[in-house]
Amino acid sequence: MKEKLRIYGNERLEGEVAVSGGKNAAVAIIPAALLADSPSTIENIPDINDVHVIIEMLKWLGAHVDFRDNTLWVDPRTVDKFNPPYELAGKMRASYYLAPVLLGLFHRAEVPLPGGCDIGARPIDQTIKGMCTLGAKVETLGGVLVATADEMLGGDIFLDMPSVGATVNSMLTAVSASGLTCIHNAAKEPHIVDLANFLSSMGAYVKGAGTDVIRIRGGRQLHGANYTVVPDQIETGTLMIAAAAAGDDVLITGAIPTHMESLSAKLLEMGVNVASEDDWIRVRSNRVFRAVNVKTQGYPGFPTDLQQPLSALLTVANGTSIVTETIFESRFRFLDELRKMGANVRTIESSAIITGVNHLVGSRVNATDLRAGAAMVVAGLMAEGVTEIGGVSYILRGYERIDEKLKSLGAHIERIQYEDPLL
């Protein structure tokens, strides 16, 4: 059986919706819990496929894990393997976060090279650089990252670009390396800060997360911790864009407004009314937008993960918008799907030129990756007529109950199972 989303467009959204815990924080924090000498309890974990995959990997490695009501309990004391299977690891990007953790536990790790969304080459040279700087020997043999280290010592890691994955992996390596490690040109995303806070709650010495330089004094005994994961920055942004696209008036709760400033500013520039305080963001929209220019950057710049949903919104703005994607080299494939709905878009090198049209037309389209799926949902909410989105599994990897959340705001959206005609 396959699944698709069917969206009857042009419904108004209004009401209140709560944000789930951060996917990209959870998939970094959960592996880190294996470094403790006792169990951890981690709350606000989103109930999404990527989390289920990482939990299956932890169980395969020997940990005892319980996950219910968005709370994960993990006892790492029975972990006795260092080589998670390809069938699990190949399903997601963050599985390679286990490499530095297992290296710290066993002085060896054999982890399949990461999977993840097809939005570019996504090399891991900076991760390898970080681990080698601290004393590991790393090879990639037959699609498997093999890391060994008799002893790891702190050192200076200079990342060529503020890579999220390389920053996470360098942090997870450094906590097992004796002495001081400084990670220079570190990524500053909210999920990096969340990982640092979790490691600190386990007894690690981690300073500077959220700035360009993260300092870690490793080699300390780490204990289990009780922790609550940060709200999902990208889900928050996706809900804000959906509210602008089809809203009248939507209140997004359990969010962190400061994480959303680049998007809030861009929506205000477009003529959308965005207000926020404490832990809520209110989006009011008359569905008339000014065209704007957007350039993706690492945090606190405009997030690449919101480029696709915002590009969908810009297809009906008044005027021509230029969206420049500086992070990934092929994150515009979804524009072909938007063209099927009548969007007037073309790409020149790393920029998309989007000329607004009066409205999109509901069509049969596909999600080409996780955030492209979110873009198609935004487009479907705005379109005249019915839109069917294939590749729902992509969307469900990263958004907890997104169809139910939108339905609770008034969207007419259905999840439909169907026989795959090719099977």
Residues within the interface to ligand EPZ (CB under 6 A): 23-24, 27, 93-94, 117, 120-127, 161, 163-166, 187, 304-305, 327-328, 370-371, 398
Enumerate the active-site residues.
117
Amino acid at 118: D
The sheet that has 64-68: what strands, in order across it? 64-68, 71-75, 40-43, 226-228
How would you classify the pairing of strands 205-207 and 179-184?
unpaired
Q: How far, in Å, CA of 373 to CA of 396, rounded?
A: 9
Residue 357: Cβ within 10 Å count? 15
Nearer to ligand EPZ, 241 or 251 (CB): 241
Q: How far, in Å, CA of 66 to CA of 33, rounded?
A: 13
Q: Which run of H or E residues covers position 393?
A: helix 392-398
CB of residue 372 vs ligand EPZ: minimum separation in angstroms?
9
Nearer to ligand EPZ, 164 or 382 (CB): 164
Nearer to ligand EPZ, 1 or 121 (CB): 121
Amino acid at 49: N
CB of residue 290 vs ligand EPZ: minimum separation in angstroms?
26
**Which residue of the chain is nearest ligand EPZ when measured via CB?**
165
Nearer to ligand EPZ, 282 or 371 (CB): 371
CB 296 within 8 A of CB 322: no
User: 123 preceded by cis ω (within 30°)?
Assistant: no
Nearer to ligand EPZ, 283 or 370 (CB): 370
30 token code pair: 């959960």
Nearer to ligand EPZ, 94 or 316 (CB): 94
146 token code pair: 């093999």
Binning the chain into helix, strand and coil, the percentages to the nearest 5 are: 35, 30, 35
Find residue 50's DSSP bridge partners.
Answer: none
Q: How far, in Å, CA of 125 to CA of 166, rounded?
A: 8
Half-sphere exposure of 195 (CA within 13 A, CB side): 33
* Angle 145-194-187 from CA coordinates, rounded to 5°: 60
CB of residue 98 vs ligand EPZ: minimum separation in angstroms?
13
CB of residue 84 vs ligand EPZ: minimum separation in angstroms?
16
CB of residue 166 vs ligand EPZ: minimum separation in angstroms?
5
CB of residue 355 vs ligand EPZ: minimum separation in angstroms?
26
